[in-house]
Amino acid sequence: MIDALAWIAPDWPAPSPVRAASTLRGGGVSTGGYASLNLATHVEDEAQAVAANRGRLRRALALPADPQWLQQTHSLRVIDLDAAAGRDGDAAVTREPGRVAVVLTADCLPVLFCDEAGHSVAAAHAGWRGLVGGILEQTVRAMQQPPERLMAWLGPAIGPRHFEVGAEVRDAFLRDLPAAQAAFVATRPGRWLCDLYALARLRLRRAGVQRVFGGDRCTFGEPESFFSYRREPRCGRQATLIWLDQS
């Protein structure tokens, strides 16, 4: 287990005002399946431990404010953090420096967005239902920028060698996007390995976002670094965050 609080810095050509990070699982105080930097309050971890972990995260990243934690439900709702009072949604957008957008995942795909001028940022939580339903396209629209001026970074999710799905998942993607067939590899009758990263790239490019980065980690296959719900259903969640610098 990683002892120090650590995170992934996205490797993408974001403009200088944009700050972003995706946490690894070490460096917190939670124990058992939540060890150690669990950042979710809904997974039956001790509330005091989650609060301590969130405090450690804010200090380690020198965040300008507490992250705007969402109540994620695999919906297609995008929250405008600068206007909306509610937090029930699976993506968030902000144009206000110092306001931190964040999503929690443990196999689902976190996706960060920014525009090339550094005026707006967004974070989206995309499981297979969100992907096929259009959460990424909804987030692109919510940013109110020409898609060709946006870029996206795909954070750590379950990789294509470990995400086996049934015909209902494959069929749902193929009905909407026939090119998605290339993201599925048959394993046995009625079962396929599914590449969430490839599906996200296809859908983003169809939406007009041509600059897509990341997508090279696997939460299931890297137990020392990530929580994975499919590997261990009783587990924590990592956070993927983005904000605009106030300076």
Q: Give pLDDT tens digits for 65-121.
A: 999 999 999 999 999 999 977 899 999 999 999 999 999 999 999 999 999 999 999
Torsion sign over Cα 180, 210, 22, 118: negative
Q: Which of 96, 94, 91 is nearest to 127 (CA)?
A: 91
The pLDDT of residue 230 is above 70: yes
The pLDDT of residue 43 is above 50: yes
pLDDT level of residue 3 (50, 70, 90 thresholds): low
Query: pLDDT value at position 85?
Result: 74
Query: pLDDT value at position 109?
Result: 98
Looking at residues 198-202, what average pLDDT do you find?
98
Domains and their CATH numbers in the chain = 7-158+210-244 (3.60.140.10)
Looking at residues 228-246, what average pLDDT do you find?
97
Q: Which residues pair with 102 in a beta bridge?
A: 241
Whether this prediction's pTM lies above 0.75 is answered by: yes
Q: Phi-psi bin for 215: left (phi > 0), alpha (psi -120 to 50), beta? A: left
| High-pLDDT (> 90) share of the chain, % | 96
Looking at residues 194-204, what average pLDDT do you find?
98
Query: pLDDT value at position 163?
Result: 98
Query: pLDDT value at position 168?
Result: 97
HSE-CB at 171 with a 13 A cutoff on CA atoms is: 5
Q: Using one digit for the tens of pLDDT, what is the confidence trace for 118-171?
A: 999 999 999 999 999 999 999 999 999 999 999 999 999 999 999 999 999 999
